Structure formats: structure tokens, C-alpha cells
Amino acid sequence: MIAKQLSVFLENKSGRLYEVMEILEKENINIVALSVADTTEYGILRMVVSDPEKALKALKDNLFSVGLTDIVCICIPNEVGSFSKASKYLSEEEISIEYMYAFALNDKALAVLRTENNEKCIEVLTNKGIEVVSADKLKKI
Amino acid sequence: MIWNKTIECRDREEMRELQSKRLCETVNRVYYNVPFYRNKMQELGVYPEDIEGIDDIVKLPFTTKQDLRDNYPFGIFASPMQDIVRVHASSGTTGKPTVVGYTRKDITTWSEIVARTLNFAGVSKDDFIQIAYGYGLFTGGLGLHYGGERLGATVVPISGGNTEKQIQLMQDFKTSVIACTPSYALYLAEAMQERGVDPKSLNLKVGIFGAEPWTEAMRENIEESFGIKAYDIYGLSEIMGPGVACECEAKAGLHINEDHFIPEIIDPNTLEQLPEGQKGELVFTTVTKEGLPLLRYRTRDLTSLNYEKCECGRTLVRMNKCTGRSDDMLIIRGVNVFPSQIESALLKINEVLPHYMLEVDRINNLDVLSVLVEVDPVFFSDKIKELEKLNKRIKKAIVDVIGINANVKLVEPKTLGRTEGKSKRVVDKRIIQ
Ligand SMILES: [Zn+2]
């Protein structure tokens, strides 16, 4: 159930993000989710993509500093209190979230979580009836 | 008023005679007392009798900082240790420091030339001199100290830092002369303004500034902030310390105390002596020192010489403000920094590639060093926390080696310029002139 996220180190220079997008487009890779964490000097571009291994290779070949990270993607109903529940379950088990990004559309919401213990996170959430999206399914979104 | 008219206003031909006589004495002294020089001269086939005067100086071997390191600590001293009354040393952050030694007579000479240079700048026995250069192994503080006393002025040996106290003593003692690095002077001016003290309300008249390169713009800034006259003083411990040269009130070059130090300008590539007025590397031969006389010491500072009589009346040769270095050494907040030192610090950290770039700038009157480092993709982390930790580790490794803090900027791999030959590692944004 653990999925792969692509992380790219980017200096805060104009045009760098576009270069990454251009490479992924050429390789016919779709971006499922994306977030940019930034500091004053650099940023980290985090993405869930349709083919992480292929994307990794393409970016490496283009001299980007890039890596794959394990993440958990959950799918919850788009309604009041549903993410509150998920975070409550994690907090009860003392699983802390290192970072996350989420998006809601129509009746569903997707959240990408990076926790200190992804295996346990999946176990806890699945037991509580929260849908964890499989890596395979993620690729097809 | 001129401190020593017979020397400072001497006829040029008579000065050459004096230098010639002293040069011959020094060559004899090092040939017979220092195996290092005896070997070097024998290798060149040059013997003391071949040196009849100043024109023969070009026959003599050069001395470099590396020679001093190789003979650490006292290998080039020409006096027995019983006669050495003082030693100073560089910080020596990379391997061996350079050690210099003075006999009692050397200390007297040093005091004399510093008294002379203070006098160039219009300082007299009536003045109150606050010495805010570091004391200790660094020659700045003690050099100025003994010179100030020799002049008969009142010396306040406060040393560097301790800004509160600096300001308080300037107010209470009615200090008339401040001696420190130019960047510290500007820092002091700001510190005063922050505390509601108008720098112009003090009794300061003159500033003696050295130990780092500074610009005309900085001079204007300092002079305006304090309402004083700011003079550039030059020196290096290998030759003596502060007072090798200093500006006079004409501010048209720094008069060299050439009865003690013979300057030459050479082409750093061919090592040939260059004619008057041409810019090249400054080389000094000490001609009165007992403890550590040096032949043709390569300072690595780039400048030119002017033998015209100065409007102040002195005939002592003048060197122009240094415009750079013939090696890659940087002077940052008065500290000598070589890019190779930064490189050695980075090599200890796995997560970065051995590619880096140094940027030096002057921000709010302080030298700021930035080190750009490429992150190795193998160790790439997608957590900002981890990257910040890495940044801190690099910072610490650098401060451990060079003694000053640097801003560390992580950059993408393969983005720092590299060429087949020598890559450009340094961008110095502090413009001299
Ligand atoms: Zn003059």
C-alpha cells in the first residue's frame, strides 16, 4: 500500500519548475498530486506521478537532485470531520505526520501523508475503515 | 612637524646609499646565520660578495609564506633564541602557523616606525589613542601600542570588541585617535547611533585603519560619520607588523619606511622586477631586522610604487592602496582565508559534492562570506529539516577551520561553474578603489 513520491531539490530560480514539467511531459508522465515546500533559498517539489521510476530516471538524466520517498495516500469522503477522524486515529497511536498535502473534489478528498512510520499508519487507518489508495490505483488517477 | 626629517626627507640618492649598505649587512647576516638562506643562495650561485648594493637585489632568492611554514617554528630566525624577546604568530588554521621573532632592537625599530607612521597621520604626543586592534599573537594591537607610547601619546590598550566599553571610554577619556579595522569603525559608528550617541560629538580627530582592504567609499563614509580624517596603515607580520607603510595627510599613497624595508614590484608570473609605476606584486627585503630578516619576501599584494616627492615634504617612496592579491587568499574581517581551507572543510561532509563557490560581500559594513555548495543527489533528502541540519553541519565545519561564520547556500548539483583547468571559486563583490 505504500506509494512512492518523487522529490526534487530546486533552487528558487525562475524557470526551474517548468523544466521539470517539460521533462515529465516528454516522458508522458502524469502528475496526480503536487506540492512545493520552500525556504528562502531553495524548495522541494514533491509529486505523486503515474510512473515514479521512469520520472526519477528522466530527471536524474537531466542532472536534477531527485529521490523517491515512501508515502501513504488516503481517500476519504469530502465532508466535515472526516480528516479530523483520520488525524485523531494517528494521534492516538502517536504517529506523527512529517508533512502532507491534500485536495478535495466533488464527494472525495485525497491526502498524501509522510509519517514517521508509514506501515503502522496504513495499519491503523485501514483498521478504522479509512481507504488507503494503493500505489497501482494511484497511477491511474 | 616631521618625526625624523633626516630619514623621511632624505635625498633619494642618499637613501639608496643607506639601503645599499644595510642590504649588504643583511645578506651577510642571513648567509652566515641561516642555513635556509645559505642553501638558497648557494643553489643560485650567489655569495655575499656578489651583493654590492641595491641594484644587486635582483640576484637574491625570494622568500614565501610557505618557506616560513616549512621552517616552523624558528628555522629562519637569524638570532639565537636568548636574544629573541618576543614572538608573534598567524592563526595557522591550516596546518602550521607562521611564527615571527623580534630582538630587543627589532622592537625598538618597530616602535620607531609606528611612531613615525602615526606622525604621518598628524598624531602627536598630545593625543589619546584608543587601540581597538586585537592584542595577543596578532601583531596589530601590540605594534600600534608600542608605537603610540614611543610617540609619547597616551595609549588606551582596549583591544578589539567590547563595543559598549569602547564607546564609554571614547566619551570619558576624550579619545582623539582610534586605531582599528575600517569595518569595525563603521560598526562602532552604527552602534553609537543606536545608543543615541552622535559619533561627531566625540573628541575623535583621526582614525588609523588597516588589516583589511577598504575602499575610498568606506573612507568617505567613516570620515563623514565621525567627522575625522581616516588614514590607511599597512603592514604584515612577516616584515614587521603594522607600520611598514602608512598614508600621510596628503592621502596620496602610503609612505614606506624604506630605510628598514626595501620594496620592489615584480611580475608574479615571470618574477622579473617591474619599473616604477607599473602594477605588480609587492616584495620586501628587510634591511635592519635582527630576529627574522627576510630577503625578497613575496607579500602577494598587488600595487605599484611612486618615488615622486610628496606634497607633505617626505621623499619616502609611496605604495598605492593594494588592489588585490596575486594568490587566491581573501581577507575577511581581518582574517586570512584560503579557498583550499573551505575545500578541506567540505571534504569532511559526505552529503555535499566537492564543488563550491565563495562569495564575499560587504553588508552593513561587515564582510559577509557565503559558501555555495552542491548537494549530492545520493544523499538528497526531501525533508527541509534534514537539509537545514546539513546546512548547520557545513557551517560548523567551516567555522572550525577558518574561525569565521559563513552563510551556507545549498544549490543543485552541477550548477556551479567548472572548467577543465582552474575553476573560478571566488567572487569578491567588495570592490576595491
Ligand atoms: Zn606624504
Q: B63: which DSSP letter?
A: B
| CATH, domain range A3-70 | 3.30.2130.10
Q: B122: which DSSP letter?
A: T
Distance CA B255, CA B244 (A): 9
Position B93 pLDDT exceeds 60: no
Position B198 pLDDT exceeds 80: yes
Summarize pLDDT for B45-89 with one digit per residue, the tens. Answer: 999 999 999 999 999 999 999 999 999 999 999 999 999 999 999
Q: Residue range A96-108: average pLDDT?
A: 88
Q: Residue range B151-166: average pLDDT?
A: 95
Asked if A99 is an interface residue toward chain B (Cβ–Cβ < 8 A), one would say: yes
- The residues whose Cβ lies within 5 A of ligand 1, an ion, are B 248, 250, 310, 312, 314
Instruction: Check residue B190 and give its pLDDT.
Output: 86
Position B92 pLDDT exceeds 70: no
Instruction: Check residue B366 and give its pLDDT.
Output: 82
Position B184 pLDDT exceeds 80: yes
Asked if B372 is an interface residue toward chain A (Cβ–Cβ < 8 A), one would say: no
All residues of chain B having their beta carbon less than 8 Å from the beta carbon of residue A69 are 382
Q: pLDDT higher for B215 or A83?
A: A83
Residue B81 Cα distances to A82, B86, B420, angstroms: 84, 10, 49
Domain A71-134, second-level architecture: 2-Layer Sandwich (3.30)
pLDDT grade for B353, boundaries at 50, 70 and 90: confident
In this structure, what C-alpha cell is assigned to residue B22? 644595510
CB contact at 8 A, B286 and B256: no
Instruction: Check residue B423 and give its pLDDT.
Output: 55
Instruction: Check residue B416 and give its pLDDT.
Output: 77
All residues of chain B having their beta carbon less than 8 Å from the beta carbon of residue A42 are 387, 410-411
- Cβ separation of B377 and A67 shorter than 8 Å? yes
Summarize pLDDT for A29-59 with one digit per residue, the tens. Answer: 999 889 988 888 888 999 999 999 999 999 9
In sequence order, what are the residues at sequence separation of 6 or more whose Cβ sits closer than 8 angstroms to the Cβ of residue A8?
A: A20, A44, A45, A47, A59, A64, A65, A66
- Cβ separation of A42 and B387 shorter than 8 Å? yes
Instruction: Check residue B433 and give its pLDDT.
Output: 37
Alpha-carbon distance B367 to nearest alpha carbon in chain A (angstroms): 20
Give chain B's mean pLDDT: 91
Q: pLDDT higher for B106 or A99?
A: B106
pTM: 0.72
Alpha-carbon distance A34 to nearest alpha carbon in chain B (angstroms): 13
Summarize pLDDT for B395-422 with one digit per residue, the tens. Answer: 999 998 888 899 999 888 777 765 444 4
pLDDT grade for B94, boundaries at 50, 70 and 90: low
- Cβ separation of A37 and B377 shorter than 8 Å? no
Phi, psi (degrees; rounded to nearest 5) at A29? -105, 130
* Every domain of chain A and the residues it spans: 3-70, 71-134
Instruction: Check residue B418 and give its pLDDT.
Output: 56
All residues of chain B having their beta carbon less than 8 Å from the beta carbon of residue A67 are 377, 380-382
Cβ pairs A/B, distance under 8 A: 49
Instruction: Check residue B4 and give its pLDDT.
Output: 95
Instruction: Check residue B417 and give its pLDDT.
Output: 63
All residues of chain A having their beta carbon less than 8 Å from the beta carbon of residue B411 are 11, 42
In this structure, what C-alpha cell is assigned to residue B55? 641594484
Distance CA B111, CA B144 (A): 8
Asked if B377 is an interface residue toward chain A (Cβ–Cβ < 8 A), one would say: yes
- In this structure, chain A runs to a length of 141
In sequence order, what are the residues at sequence separation of 6 or more whose Cβ sits closer than 8 angstroms to the Cβ of residue B410?
A: A9, A41, A42, B352, B373, B374, B375, B387, B390, B391
Note the ipTM here.
Answer: 0.76
Strand pairing partners for A36?
A45
Asked if B35 is an interface residue toward chain A (Cβ–Cβ < 8 A), one would say: no
CB contact at 8 A, B404 and B332: yes
- In this structure, of B150-159, B267-276, B331-340, the range with the lowest mean pLDDT score is B331-340
Alpha-carbon distance B430 to nearest alpha carbon in chain A (angstroms): 22
Instruction: Check residue A23 and give its pLDDT.
Output: 95
